Amino acid sequence: MESLCKTILETLQQPQPTDPIRACGKCVLDLLIVRPKDVINLAHDKLHAYPFKEVPTCWRRLYTDASIAKAVLDIRAKEGNAAEDWQGDVVKTLDMALIMTGAPLRGQMIEQLISALQSSTSERPSKRRRLDDV
């Protein structure tokens, strides 16, 4: 999981020269990994500032990439913490990116993350039932 997270963060930090996300501006892109929640909020506001069919691709891409960055940072911070059900929150973040934007140029990346989460969850032993519940 860690190698996937590292690769994803590197990809997010180095958009291709023709990537529409560049139209959002360098300052915003510099905050993508450092403050993804704030970038999600900014992109959310921009998504709702236009009629649905007229939303510039750069804002859809920004929302998607910030959501992916948030998910990866959450995975890194919480992975291995069996006491907390954090996977649902990560999936919710990624799902919202798909719903809100269609995840332009990042659908496969989101699928990889969700698949890796499912694999790591299935490898964990399930919780045993408490005896006093019987």
Distances (CA, A) of 53 to 39, 48, 49, 50, 83: 21, 11, 11, 8, 43
Q: Rounded to an integer, what is the distance from CA 6 to the centroid of its chain?
A: 13
Reading the chain (134 residues) residue by residue, the pLDDT tens digits are: 899 999 999 999 999 999 999 999 999 999 999 999 999 999 999 999 999 899 999 999 999 999 999 999 999 998 777 656 788 999 999 999 999 999 999 999 999 999 998 888 765 545 545 555 55
Q: Looking at residue 128, what is its pLDDT? A: 47
Q: Looking at residue 32, what is its pLDDT? A: 96
- By the 8 A CB rule, do 62 and 46 touch? yes
Tokens 């190698």 locate to 3
Q: Looking at residue 121, what is its pLDDT? A: 72
Q: Looking at residue 124, what is its pLDDT? A: 52
Tokens 């006093």 locate to 132
